[in-house]
Amino acid sequence: MATDSSSIPARIALALGLVVAALGVLVQFLVGVPGFPAIPPGPIILGVAAIVVLALPRRRWPLVVGLVAAVFVTGGGLIEGSVWGRLADPATFDVWSGAVLQWSGLLVALISGALAVRLAYRRPGAVR
């Protein structure tokens, strides 16, 4: 089923948030933050989800994929726990900027993803 035009801005914001978060994780990996695996899954998960969200604009389910990816990476980052130390230390600008990119992108993706899913799956004729 196709989405209506009211969810398009939220869809675009979701995709951009996922891309920014992926770039943030990638920056942290490239500057050598300890604890990253040889191939970090975060940028792959977020990047693929962003591509799916943008590549299938007439479908509703990619919005759920994007939101689930953002929730998954957010949960993993919070469980891992070292984000607070990276965000609290702007003296190491490269690491700090990657963490800020990651978490600001995730915040945008979570909010806009929830809004996009709500708009896409609302019942016709429901009170807005």
Asked, for residue 126, whether it belongs to a domain, the answer is no
Under 8 Å between Cβ of 123 and 37: no
CB neighbour class for 79 (10 Å; exposed up to 12, middle 13-18, buried from 19): exposed
- Number of structural domains in the chain: 1
Q: Which two tokens stand for residue 36?
A: 């990253």
Report, as an integer, the average pLDDT of 29-56: 91
Task: Determine the pLDDT at residue 125.
Answer: 61
Range of the domain at 79: 5-120
Q: How far apart are CA 110 and CA 17, in angstroms?
A: 8
Angle, nearest 10°, between helix axes 41-55 and 61-80?
A: 160
Q: How far apart are CA 70 and CA 88, in angstroms?
A: 22
Nearest to 107 by CA among 17, 16, 27: 17
Report, as an integer, the average pLDDT of 19-42: 90
Task: Determine the pLDDT at residue 21.
Answer: 97
Report, as an integer, the average pLDDT of 114-126: 83
Asked, for residue 128, whether it belongs to a domain, the answer is no
Report, as an integer, the average pLDDT of 73-88: 87
Task: Determine the pLDDT at residue 115.
Answer: 95
Mean pLDDT value across the chain: 89
Asked, for residue 125, whether it belongs to a domain, the answer is no
- For 91-114, the pLDDT digits (tens) are 889 889 999 999 999 999 999 999
Asked, for residue 21, whether it belongs to a domain, the answer is yes
Rg (CA), the chain: 16
Asked, for residue 85, whether it belongs to a domain, the answer is yes
The residue whose two tokens read 């016709």 is 124
Given a cut of 60, whether residue 77 has pLDDT beyond it is yes
Enter the pTM of the model. 0.89
